[in-house]
Structure 1
Amino acid sequence: MPLHVPPAPAPALRSVLAALGSPTAVREARTPSLRKAQGPVTPELPLPVHVLNQEGTPRTRLTGWRFLLRGEGRMVAAADTVLTADGWTFAHFFEGPYVTATERALRQAESLQSACQPRLLSVPELYMLTLWLHSDTTSDGTEGRLEPTDLLVPLAPAPPGIAAHRPHLAAELLPVLTHRLAPAPLLGHAV
């Protein structure tokens, strides 16, 4: 299946390219694989990053764009950008399990039958990140509600009891997340 990756805002891409071109930004990054990379490192696969808001009906909010960084023929790190009052700006470089998990989930998504737009969906309260395969391939990636038929692929490491790299319909996974995010009932004794 072809993935319809939305183009990132030009200022977001420029901010990542400027950071990659800055010896100070790369040297001070806490990403050993980025500092050790031989040859050029290029940003690829821009993915809009949305956060799940669980107040009432589950909604999403765009919080940034993530670029996977390729060097030496493999993904070596990622770069995040955020929207500020001055526009899109570079936030930070990072590496770790979510970089390889994102790449794996994207390869997995390419084998699915229907076209979709890849995004990232963060659930900060659960320390969870998913690849969100949105059914509207014409969207610019900044808007769009989570449709019941959209697929969510939890990235490793996933919270206990949620299988990483297993695609779930949003209609099936959202109730599980909502239940986990619900405040626990207060237990007490009447005096």
Structure 2
Amino acid sequence: MPLLSSPAPGPARASALAALGSPAAARAVTPALRVHPGPLAPESPLPVHVMEGINEPDGPRVRLTGWRFLIRGGGRTVAAVETAHTPDGWVSSRFFGGPYLSSTEHALRQADALPVPHQPRLLSVPELYMLTLWLHGDTTADPATGRPDPEDLLIPLAPAPPGIAAHRPHRVSDLLPVLTLRLGPVVPLAGSAA
């Protein structure tokens, strides 16, 4: 069943397009963009959320940090661009390449083959240097809000942290305890109030 992706905000997409049109900003940063003859297009927009405070008593916090677009040209993905919302509006925050490009595409194909529809999002866990494809079960939800439901699926992208299998779908209720164990207990600093 197909993924039910939400469209990116128009200004976020416009920011990605403007960045692609800037040779100084885009092609000088990412080698694949520097050598690609074009034309290039931002596709497959995914909201990017960050999960922090996994071991905190109230549970993890999740916040939207921007939208990521895969940049395609000549029938293949050559880079990605991430946009962020600032007080002045949407801006292109960075271009990048590397293993997460093909890993994201692989995870999207995996998710598209699942029998139940999901809303795709990216979920970063900076405490573990981990990026996952988050498959949210509520396909009508605002992609900028919410937190992973226990029944949502997470597909860790490669490279995944040691001991966590990349490209294996996990229910949030199954993977979150593993992440909690990986980070260990929160230990108060010496001299701080307990």
Q: CA deviation at 1:171?
A: 0.3
Written as runs of structure 1 = structure 2, the 5 A alignment for 1:29-40 is 29=29, 31-40=30-39
Q: Check conservation: 1:7, 1:140, Cα contact below 8 A.
A: no
Alignment match, 2:192: none
Q: Which residue of 2 aligns with 1:46?
A: 45
Q: C-alpha displacement at 1:182, in angstroms?
A: 3.1
The match for 1:87 is 89
Query: Residue 152 of structure 1 corresponds to which residue in structure 2?
Result: 154
Superposition map of 1:132-151 within 5 A = 132-151=134-153
In 2: Cα distance, 1:146 partner to 1:27 partner: 35
Given that 1:42 and 1:69 are in contact with CA atoms closer than 8 Å, whether structure 2 keeps it comes out as yes
Secondary structure at 2:27 match in 1 = helix
Tell me by how many angstroms 1:185 deviates: 5.8
**1: CA distance, partners of 2:77 / 2:158:** 16
SS across alignment from 1:23 = coil
Q: How many percent of aligned residue pairs carry the same amino acid?
A: 65
Q: Distance in 1 between matches of 2:68 and 2:19?
A: 14
Question: Are 1:151 and 1:169, in contact at CA under 8 Å, matched by a contact in 2?
Answer: yes
Q: Is the 8 A contact 1:152 1:170 kept in 2?
A: yes
- SS of 1:175's equivalent in the other structure is helix
Aligned equivalent of 1:28:
28
Gaps of 5+ in 2: 189-194
Distance 1:184 1:148 in 2: 23
1:111 aligns with 2:113: yes
Task: Name the Cα RMSD after superposition.
Answer: 1.4
**Deviation (angstroms), 1:27:** 2.9
Aligned length: 185
Query: Any conservation in 2 of the 1:46–1:68 contact (CA below 8 Å)?
Result: yes
1:110 and 1:27 mapped to 2: Cα distance?
31
- Contact 1:69–1:77 (CA under 8 A) maintained in structure 2: yes
Distance (whole Å) between structure 2 residues aligned to residue 167 and residue 45 of structure 1: 20
The DSSP-based 3-state class of the residue aligned with 2:178 is: helix
TM-score, normalised to structure 2, is 0.91
Q: CA deviation at 1:183?
A: 3.7
Moved more, 173-182 or 90-99: 173-182
C-alpha distance in 1 between matches for 2:99 and 2:27: 21
Partners of 1:85 and 1:26 in 2: CA distance: 23
Q: Secondary structure at the match of 1:163?
A: coil
- Report the equivalent of 2:179: 177
The AA in structure 2 aligned to 1:27 is R
Over 6 Å off, 4+ runs = none
Among candidates 50, 62, 84, match of residue 64 of structure 2? 62
In 2, the alpha carbon distance for the partners of 1:58 and 1:183 equals 14
> 1:168 deviation in Å?
0.3
Q: CA deviation at 1:35?
A: 1.2
Return 5+ residue gaps in structure 1 as ranges: 187-191
